[in-house]
Chains A and B, each alone.
Chain A
Amino acid sequence: MVPLSWYIVLSAVVFSIGVVGFLIRRNIIIMLISIEIMLNAVNISLAAFSHYLQDIRGQIFVFFVIAVAAAEVAIGLALIIALFRNKPTLNVDEINIMKW
């Protein structure tokens, strides 16, 4: 059995990759993907804890996270398309009518 700590470390590493990706990349799609990476890092740790504790609740949580993440991506893409129709760019630095 792979020890729990490995999963926790994996999850922490993946989460950090997501955070760093969100903060340093300037493409909206990549930033969206980074958020998804963060959510999946959470899924890893929830599933690992769920198995470690022999408690089903963590896996239920994962189901909800997956479903909500899908809705979130759909809305994100819709907003990006709406923006793209008015202003064809995906770089957040160019989305600057208002100051950040």
Chain B
Amino acid sequence: MSFLNLNFMYIKPIAPELIITCIALILMLLDLIVRRKEVIALVGIIGTTLALYLTFKVYGLAGPQTVFNGMFVLDGYSSFFKFIFYINAILTICISLKYMEIEKAAYGEYYALLLFATAGMMIIASALDLIVLYLGIELMSLSTYILVGIIRHDTKSNEAAIKYFLLGGFSSAFLLYGASLIYGLTGTTNIGAIAAFISEKGFAGNQMLLLSMALFTVAFGFKIAAAPFHMWAPDAYEGAPTSITAFMSVGPKAAGFAALGRVFMVAFSSIKVEWSTVLIPLAVLSMCIGNIVAISQTNIKRMLAYSSIAHAGYALLGVIAGTNSGLSSMMNYMFIYAFMNIGAFAVVIMLRREGFKGEDLSDYEGLAKNHPLAAALMLVFMFSLTGIPPTAGFIAKFYVFMEVIKTGHVLLAVIAVLFSVASAFFYLRVVMYMYMKEPRGEVILTTSAPICIALAVTALIVIVFGIFPSSLLDFVSLAISG
């Protein structure tokens, strides 16, 4: 059966996706048999770690391997994003075990859906064809819609899910319309073939191409929550379970950037000037709205939602640079952002206990007196989100800004730095509340082993990569070369 063997060779590059999908299916069935959610969570973590190992083994070794008639590719770029997705999934599982019990929503499907969403993101990162890209985006989005609304008895969660669902569906339709136009123009849905066709026929100034690019921008803008397509983000982030807020502020955003980078840098490479002209206002507006509106927020989840809009703006700068090193600075940014953001949300989750939301900024007053360690961790994450030097957040911002300056957008870098300074106001306000105010009442933290591990890992990474960034940068450069 040489015929069959040949086809099994094709399966090898998609092994991590297959593992994640199979584990998700197993979790669904396991949920019917096993009552303890810890078992389900553990199986999920083990499966994801296995996939992580497989991806790590091939990372940076060979050139791109395409399968399924060039629809799916395994290369450094996709592998790097997959690391972000694995880490995102594992850390989210760690921080949600105890929390979902408190919310009285400890469903087994939760973990299956997390992995399905992760599988969707992985497919997005590896998609070399618009059909596969669409399927990946929908697999990710549909799973995330349910996860946002998983606290069925909470009207806020329902509301967040409906809003996210309606605007997500709306943006997917734009993506599809853009895809259909570009298919009509080039006669192919393969991202590489589209680029080849456009440069060969000299279609660079074609209006249909520009319209299609604009539609893609709208769709990806929704996915990465960049202003002015950010309207859903604050509500969805506030209403969703906090663990899911952490998950969706990193995963779908990184996946959106993966798709954005792939489609714009490859398929639309011949109209680089046009799309960077479109993306620059998007980035500036994101940084502006994200950082300014965050100042007036009193709910920490909503504040972090606006901060995530602002971070989408910073990361967009890497894409705007339009070079390979610019792209790698964006990847670097998303990697560090994953750790610092999930870490911050882990602290937020710890404040939640039975009958106490712990989402208000005033709940943080005097936290340092009662719980110095938790306050210190929050301090690290807030410093990192602001971009203050000994933390990884500084490295992330520094490289993005440097790439932008290198390509001549000096004014853009100046604006970004200014908004970055403005952001210190609301990040450091949390620190000020924790350290400079007297505690109003006793705050009891809900701790568990998994959440402590997650906090330790995120804090360690944020500090270590802040002090020794070179190892991370080498790791990222493998993604672009291999």
- Interface residues in chain A, defined as those with a beta carbon under 8 Å from any beta carbon in chain B: 8, 11, 15, 18, 22, 28, 31-32, 35, 38-39, 41-42, 45-46, 48-49, 52-53, 55, 57-58, 60-61, 64-65, 68, 71-72, 75-76, 78-80, 82-83, 85-87, 92, 95, 97-100
Chain A contact surface mostly = helix
Q: B152: which A residues are within 8 A, CB to CB?
A: 82, 85
Interface mask (B135-176 → A, CB under 8 Å = 1, otherwise 0): 100100010011001001111101111110110011011001
| Segment at the interface with A among B22-30, B181-189, B258-266 | B181-189
Interface residues of B (CB under 8 A from A): 130-131, 134-135, 138, 142, 145-146, 149, 152-156, 158-163, 165-166, 169-170, 172-173, 176-177, 179-181, 183-184, 187-189, 231, 234-235, 238-239, 302
Instruction: Indicate if the CB atoms of A79 and B189 lie closer than 8 Å.
Output: no
Indicate if the CB atoms of B169 and A35 lie closer than 8 Å: yes
Q: B183 near A71 (CB under 8 angstroms)?
A: no
**A46-B180, A57-B189 given as contacts; is B156 within 8 A of A95 (CB)?**
no
- Contact indicator B183/A95 (Cβ below 8 Å): no
Q: Determine whether the beta carbon of A72 is less than 8 Å from that of B169.
A: yes
**Which of B162, B163, B169 gathers most chain A CB within 10 Å?**
B169
B140 to chain A, nearest CB (A): 12
Interchain CA distance A33-B48 in the complex, whole Å: 37
Write the chain B residue with the least CB distance to A76. Answer: B165
Please determine whether B176 and A39 come into contact, CB atoms closer than 8 angstroms. Answer: yes
A selection of 28 A-B contacts at a CB cut-off of 8 Å is A28-B162, A35-B166, A35-B173, A38-B170, A38-B173, A38-B176, A48-B184, A49-B183, A53-B184, A55-B187, A57-B131, A57-B183, A61-B180, A64-B135, A65-B176, A75-B165, A76-B169, A78-B146, A80-B162, A83-B159, A85-B152, A86-B158, A87-B155, A95-B159, A97-B159, A97-B239, A98-B160, A98-B238
Question: Would you call A38 and B146 a contact (CB within 8 A)?
Answer: no
Q: Shortest CB–CB separation between residue A71 and chain B, in angstroms?
A: 6
Contact assessment for A61 and B183 in the assembled complex, using a CB-CB cutoff below 8 Å: yes
Set of chain B residues within 8 Å of A71, measured between Cβ atoms: 138, 142
Q: Once the chains bind, are A38 and B177 in contact (CB under 8 Å)?
A: yes
B238 (CB) vs chain A CBs: closest residue: A98
* Ranked 10 nearest A-B pairs via Cβ: A38-B173, A49-B184, A83-B158, A42-B176, A35-B169, A86-B155, A45-B180, A98-B235, A53-B187, A68-B138
A64 to B155, CA, bound (A): 33
Q: Do A68 and B131 form a contact, CB below 8 Å, given A38-B177, A82-B152?
A: no
Taking a contact as CB atoms under 8 Å apart, the answer to whether A98 and B177 are in contact is: no
Q: Is the CB of B158 within 8 A of A87?
A: yes
B162 and A68 contact, CB distance less than 8 A: no
Contact partner of B145 among A22, A31, A68, A79, CB < 8 A? A79
Assess the B142–A72 pair: CB atoms within 8 A.
yes
Among the listed A31, A45, A68, which residue makes an inter-chain contact with B184, where contact means beta carbons less than 8 Å apart?
A: A45
Q: How far is the CB of B476 from chain A (nearest CB, A)?
A: 33
Residues of chain B within 8 A of A61, CB atoms compared: 130-131, 134, 179-180, 183, 189
* Residues of B close to A32: CB separation below 8 A: 166, 169
A61 to B161 alpha-carbon distance, docked (Å): 27
